[in-house]
Amino acid sequence: MPVTDLLERNSRLYGGEVALIELNPEAEEPRRTTWKEYDLIQETSPARYRHEITWRVFDEKANRFANLLVSRGVKRGDKVAILMYNCLEWLPIYFGVLKAGAIAVPFNFRYSSDEILYCAKLAEVDVLVFGPEFIGRIEAIADTLMRGRLLVYVGDNCPTFAESYHEMAADCSSSAPDVAIDEDDYAAIYFSSGTTGFPKAILHKHRSLSQAAEMEMVHHRVGRDDNFLCIPPLYHTGAKFHWMGCLCAGCKAVLLKGTKPDIILSAVSQERCTTVWLLVPWAQDIIDALDRGDVCLDDYELGQWRLMHIGAQPVPPSLIRRWKEYFPQHQYDTNYGLSESTGPGCVHLGIENVDHVGAIGIPGYRWKCKIVDEQGAEVARGDVGELCVSGPGVMTCYYNDPKATSEVLRDGWLLTGDMAKQDADGFYYLVDRKKDVIVSGGENIYPVEIENFLHKNPKVKDVAVIGMPDKRLGEISAAIIETQPGSDCSEQEIRDFCLDLPRYKRPVRVIFAKVPRNATGKIEKPRLRREYGVEHLVAMENEA
């Protein structure tokens, strides 16, 4: 079934119940709006600028936007881009696009003007919906964007080159448009992270979205009484499809603006959140704050918090062991996935398998996995190869890129580009990204293994291992280490600590610097390679 059916069901069965809460504890003033429908939004705690909507209002807002699009000539299969920070409007706009029979195209809010224009052209976007934070970036390319495209602005003081979402939607019907939608219709285009250049456009059908919603509910046993705390950006498949477990179960969720430990713990406490999806840096920040005494668990009501799960990047086992020391009652899950597999969950640890922390897990709900060599043959259990997944959430294609599609889709299997191995119990372990493997003197070095080892050092806050060019060995390993605030850590300490590693896995270079991560928590290794690669090596040789 199309995923929009779940929203309409919730409006019918749970219409008066809260669906979404927007919480912005760092806001300087309450949000203002001119849309008359916003008298249905309850401001229950103005000091924290808290806003909420019910399932009925959610569905009506989606219908209004769908009817707006239809009235402006948007047809089945047209593309509507969304460039907004997390807010109460985000998901109703997304579902309004789907209800109109169009294809939702979420944009990364970090895109520059050039990247916005590139992605709009690649995905053949017909409509761009954007928020006030992006006026400058859109204005810089407005003349080009406006050629055959509708620009819709969500906020106060609409710029002259766009049309006002609130004013247009206010006069549209709140009933569902007469547009038939099937699970085989195209629903969304997501973009790859773009960490290796301009991103690819990933096309999914409605069946992918419905699969993600049902899978999240099954994996994390989401029920009507749950309340999901959503912190990552909704343009990312991880945030949205973890939230879709709430859509499937008919429970509420909190959209939190802010990632500081006290803000997260306060939100869980005050909103009585039961499940939280964190990125590695945020979980580490909470542990560090607890270690320093900056926050105290006794100051919060956390007894209802049952599940913490992590995804979007390799998870150091040492982090989860430390987490369980502070939160022994928590269920835990690791989520693995790609935008090409409708986000997280095609492989997951499972909340009953905490004794296997370190593994990415077992095949997810309705998914299959295998590990293959360079020729596509399955490797023996225990050997390293490329992880492949198959299931109802695999993308249709890279939009307008048949060559790239053929490189990763083979006979119904998606080649993930991740190197992995499977243990005797059937659990899969991520070894590294295929393109991140360091080949040094004929030996394959997997940076994730070294990163996990270095994370055990209490003076290490974050670490990234990359390959550097070497005339003799081809590549050598370099560890970029971000130390804990206030700690005094020397290169010799790191080298002594690494004596427990096999000699070929010990980092040849040690660099103390901040580890850059993108909005979804992934280490920006291409950036590090540019910064500490050839130029850095040449500079060091010149100094010597």
Which residue did the predictor score with more confidence, 135 or 470? 135
Question: Looking at the domain that runs over 259-433, which CATH code has it been given?
Answer: 3.40.50.12780
For residues 212-236, average pLDDT: 95
Cβ-contact 310, 323 below 8 angstroms: no
Give the 3-state secondary structure percentages of the chain, helix then strand then coil, rounded to 5: 35, 25, 40
Beta strands at 150-153 and 163-164: parallel, antiparallel or unpaired = parallel
pLDDT the model gives residue 527: 83
How many residues appear in the chain?
544
Cβ-contact 405, 397 below 8 angstroms: yes
Q: 472: pLDDT confidence band, cut at 50, 70 and 90?
A: low
Q: 481: pLDDT confidence band, cut at 50, 70 and 90?
A: very high
For residues 68-85, average pLDDT: 96
Q: Where are the alpha helices (DSSP H) in 49-171?
A: 55-71, 90-99, 113-122, 135-139, 142-145, 165-170
pTM: predicted TM-score of the whole model, two decimal places: 0.81
Residue boundaries of the structural domains of the chain: 4-228, 259-433, 437-543
pLDDT the model gives residue 530: 80
Q: Give the domain 437-543 fold.
A: GMP Synthetase; Chain A, domain 3 (3.30.300)
pLDDT of residue 297 exceeding 90 = yes
Cα 477 to Cα 438: distance, rounded to the nearest angstrom: 7
Residue range 310-353, pLDDT digits in tens: 976 667 788 899 999 999 999 999 999 989 999 889 999 999 99
Minimum mean pLDDT range among 310-314, 316-320, 423-427, 457-461: 310-314
Cα 439 to Cα 445: distance, rounded to the nearest angstrom: 6
Residue range 142-190, pLDDT digits in tens: 999 888 899 999 999 999 999 999 999 999 999 999 999 999 999 999 9
Identity at 470, one-letter amino acid code: D
Cα 320 to Cα 293: distance, rounded to the nearest angstrom: 19
Whether 4-228 and 259-433 share one fold: the answer is yes
Secondary structure (DSSP) of 243-289: HHHHHHHT-EEEEE----HHHHHHHHHHHT--EEEE-HHHHHHHHHH
Residue among 535, 460, 466 nearest 498 (CA)? 460
pLDDT the model gives residue 30: 43
pLDDT the model gives residue 280: 82
Does 4-228 carry CATH code 3.40.50.12780? yes
pLDDT of residue 27 exceeding 70 = no
Secondary structure (DSSP) of 396-423: SEETT-HHHHHHHEETTEEEEEEEEEE-
